[in-house]
Structure 1
Amino acid sequence: MKRITTGLLAFSLLGLPATTAGAATAPLATSAAPSATPAQTSSPSPSATSASTAAHPAERTPDTAISAAPIPQPAADNYRLSGTLGPYPIGATLSVRPDQTVANAHYFYVKNLVDIPLSAQKSGEQIVLSEPGGGRFTLHFETSDKKAPAPLTFQTSTALAGTWADGTKTYPVKLNFESIDNVTPNALYEGVTDAPPAVFEAVVQRFLRNVLSGNKAETAKLISWPLRVNAEHSFTLKTPAALSASWSRVFTPCVLNRLRDAIPHEMFVHNGQAMVANGTVWFDAHGASAINSNPCQLPKK
């Protein structure tokens, strides 16, 4: 089974509202579609065909080849990754078929969240991802599990590491596997909202900008009331005024630090809600619905 690096995900799921807590976080299972079986036909012998045609010339039809029905391709699993390309935070998605070939791939810089398509070539534990502009990732599988069998695969590795190069520029790359699903791009949030993915993500992005800038009034407009705050002593806020009065209890230095690194794009979905920053904030169709505000070790300045 794929080992997924989830950071605070385990805690985050335990801290969800009652409607979401307690459910398993297993990746979506992908089953190969059954092969279509061409229709069975029986062909008469040449002599029988000649006799039949001679007796009934009006019924003669040209010989036609019987085409087999196309065999459906098994659904690909989407491996979601995040990490760095040199000094730049990035995210990536690799859609991988059961035979380990990469059907589709793209990556994006967290700064602008614009998908850049990639073509993939895989050989053993090595994978090369090329972008239209000339940039190329040369990566290999890695794992933190010393007992993982060799060779490593998408299922048994926990990260991809290597370099990105374009002309004279070369940067180190490290991408950690974060989650796995098999939903199509247009259906990414269909369990959360009827809005298109870009529209829903824009709401999350506005929420993050307003929280980090301290804009209490605009943040309140992007909350699905009541807001559950999971902390050492959990509490629920029911109005914008209550949020304003409790702002520092909700958006602690730990929460703000995590939200600075949040990636509001291709977010993980569980039980009808999407999360950012390994479950620091969960969103339903109307906005932020739960915040996990527990202590952390802040980085040294």
Structure 2
Amino acid sequence: MKQITIRLLAFSLLSLPATTAGAAPAPLAPPAAPSPIPAQTASSSPLATSASTATHPTERTPDTAASPTQMPQPTTDNYRFSGTLGPYPIGATLSVRPDQTVANAHYFYVKNLVDIPLSAQNSGEQMTLSEPGGGRFSLHFETSDKDAHGPLTFQTSTALAGTWTNGTKTYPVKLDLASIDHLAPNALYEDVTDAPPAVFEAMVQRFLRSVLSGNKAETAKLVSWPLRVNAEHAFTLKTPAALSTSWSRVFTPCVLNSLRGAIPHEMFVHNGQAMIANGTVWFDAHGARAINSCP
């Protein structure tokens, strides 16, 4: 994996789920500035409404004769970003070929998690991303590495910044690189569950809603028992009754603030589990498996 991937994911990997029974992630600190609670409805975004499904190259078996329409395409890297478009929290994924051209792209508002397709044109350190509704991103690469030498590329940058315009509307945009992978859309959680990505994400979204609304009974239905809680003194909960009794120890103000900024879409996966809020909660196929608590 590229050096930048290791650098960007180091914080998350400090508390990844353990691969053996009994072991568990170490506690994580909360995000510095939590975002507003994500709404979980399918309502349209404040600025755009189009949705899409990303396309991917057609594969062929070694014994199949290649034709012009069947030639294998270069492997793409999915660069996944999170940030803001004006006052709106957003996420974005750009699938990039080895020659630095963008094969597919989309973004979504955290408010509704609906993918909006983007067509891309990039030249040097500059990039234009256009959406069907008329919105246009004018972005450039940035890096937090003071020793980096230009020109910046996807591999050497840590962020995209610029503006989004649509008619008379103009907003500043800042997108920080969160992770890099090679996964197809329908394979996002193949190491976690056999369920389609939308079904798995819907379960995580229900968990968030139930926790943030204080619904103990519904939260318990979305836990993969036993639930490991990593705090100053780690403990394990084995039943819904135990969770109810320990609710305030598990879902501290710090944890709740972290979950308000969680993005339950295109989540990072490691060791057969997916995480939200920089590793605050880890999920397996059946529900929440581990929680990294904070005061």
Q: TM-score range by the shorter chain?
A: 0.7 to 0.9
Partner amino acid, structure 1, of 2:77? D
CA distance in 1, matches of 2:255, 2:232: 14
Partner amino acid, structure 1, of 2:199? V
Alignment of 1:260-299 (within 5 A): 260-295=260-295
Percent identity between the two aligned chains? 79
Larger Rg computed on CA atoms: 1
CA distance in 2, matches of 1:251, 1:93: 31
1:183 paired to 2:183: yes
Shift of 1:67: 7.0
CA distance in 2, matches of 1:203, 1:223: 10
Given that 2:226 and 2:239 are in contact with CA atoms closer than 8 Å, whether structure 1 keeps it comes out as: yes
Alignment of 1:1-301 (within 5 A): 1-4=2-5, 5-6=8-9, 8-13=11-16, 16=18, 18=20, 71-295=71-295
CA distance in 1, matches of 2:70, 2:223: 47
Shift of 1:222: 0.1
**C-alpha spacing 1:232/1:284, structure 2 compared with 1 (3 Å):** same
CA distance in 1, matches of 2:171, 2:18: 38
**C-alpha spacing 1:254/1:17, structure 2 compared with 1 (3 Å):** farther
Given that 2:188 and 2:197 are in contact with CA atoms closer than 8 Å, whether structure 1 keeps it comes out as: yes
CA distance in 1, matches of 2:215, 2:107: 31
**C-alpha spacing 1:218/1:75, structure 2 compared with 1 (3 Å):** same
String of CA shifts for 1:216-253, please: whole Å, max 9, x gaps: 00000000000000111101000000000111111111
* SS of aligned partner of 2:254: helix
Give the gaps of 5 or more residues in structure 1.
Answer: 23-32, 40-65, 296-301
Q: Calculate the TM-score normalised by the size of structure 1.
A: 0.80
Question: Whose RCO is larger (CA < 8 A, sep 6+)?
Answer: 2
Match of 1:26 in 2: none
Give the gaps of 5 or more residues in structure 2.
Answer: 26-58
Match of 1:45 in 2: none
Given that 2:82 and 2:177 are in contact with CA atoms closer than 8 Å, whether structure 1 keeps it comes out as: yes
CA distance in 2, matches of 1:229, 1:204: 17
CA distance in 1, matches of 2:242, 2:24: 24
Given that 1:6 and 1:278 are in contact with CA atoms closer than 8 Å, whether structure 2 keeps it comes out as: no
Q: Calculate the TM-score normalised by the size of structure 2.
A: 0.82
**C-alpha spacing 1:2/1:162, structure 2 compared with 1 (3 Å):** farther
Partner amino acid, structure 1, of 2:120? A
**C-alpha spacing 1:16/1:68, structure 2 compared with 1 (3 Å):** closer
Given that 1:280 and 1:293 are in contact with CA atoms closer than 8 Å, whether structure 2 keeps it comes out as: yes
CA distance in 2, matches of 1:71, 1:219: 48
CA distance in 2, matches of 1:170, 1:271: 41
Given that 1:80 and 1:92 are in contact with CA atoms closer than 8 Å, whether structure 2 keeps it comes out as: yes
CA distance in 1, matches of 2:69, 2:134: 39
**C-alpha spacing 1:21/1:231, structure 2 compared with 1 (3 Å):** closer
CA distance in 2, matches of 1:17, 1:290: 12
Instruction: Number of aligned residue pairs: give it.
Output: 257
Shift of 1:146: 1.0
Could you list the structure 1 runs, at least 4 aligned residues long, displaced by more than 4 angstroms after superposition: 19-22, 66-70
